[in-house]
Amino acid sequence: MTDPGTHMVSDGRTARELFDEVMDRPARARFGFGERLAIVNVDVQNAYTRVDRYATAYESDPRQIEYINTISQLARRAGMPVVWTHVAYHAGRGDAGVWGTRTDTPDSLQNIAEGSDRHAFDERADVQPETDLVLTKRMPSAFFETQLASFLVWHRVDTVVVTGGSTSGCVRATAVDSLSHGYRTIVPIETSADKHESYHFANLTDLQLKYADVVPVAEVVERLAAAPDAEEGSAADA
């Protein structure tokens, strides 16, 4: 049914129900995996993952970070790039721009100070700074005013796997920009998180319909596990 005076469907289904329906009966072809992918782990930092410390944190799947670590480790083994982002601001907070003007509390975005515990990656995350690209960003998308785009070009990436949080915020923004830059874009369901179930599933649904392949993390694990080890690939090319 539709609401009177509009052309929008309003049939009482929840965001989770709509997501399940779209996933059970996909209406669009997949972008699919290309030849070489990168894992982009968005804002796996204490401010957004430590529900035991911060009101701004969230958890949609208790194994989220475990899954992120698994696909990151498999990508490294295959010689494919892994990227981690976290968000923080200078002491003056002017680099938060207009995004930092809506509230001003200890929990506010612009009060995530560089070098603070809120800025720090969750200690459960397997960040490897000696091999992974680590970025501090200021805005939602991992592409905005960072070297991510040129990094992916240099590494001949054609597929970007986006994990992290929030599904409705920085994951979505990164996935949309990934598609806009011409990358096949994958969002593994269990690796993304948000504050509210409705935001989480509504945005996964929209990503699946428009911008990305939203898939079980097991699909990404299977794909990466089948890739040759980087050392084996180098020996084969010799």
Please state, in angstroms and rounded to a whole number, the distance separating the CA atoms of residues 116 and 18. Answer: 39
Q: Is 205 a catalytic residue?
A: no
Q: Cα(155)–Cα(176) distance, rounded to whole angstroms?
A: 20
Whether the CB-CB separation of 148 and 174 falls below 8 Å is answered with no
**Residue 141, phi then psi, degrees to nearest 5:** -75, 140
Please give the structure tokens belonging to residue 237. 């090319």
Angular region, 64: left φ>0, alpha ψ -120 to 50, beta rest: alpha
Neighbouring-strand partners of residue 180: none
Q: Which of 157, 170, 212, 220 is catalytic?
A: 170
Phi, then psi, of 7 in degrees rounded to 5:
-120, 25
Handedness of CA 22, 26, 27, 31 (dihedral sign): positive
Residues recognised as catalytic: 170
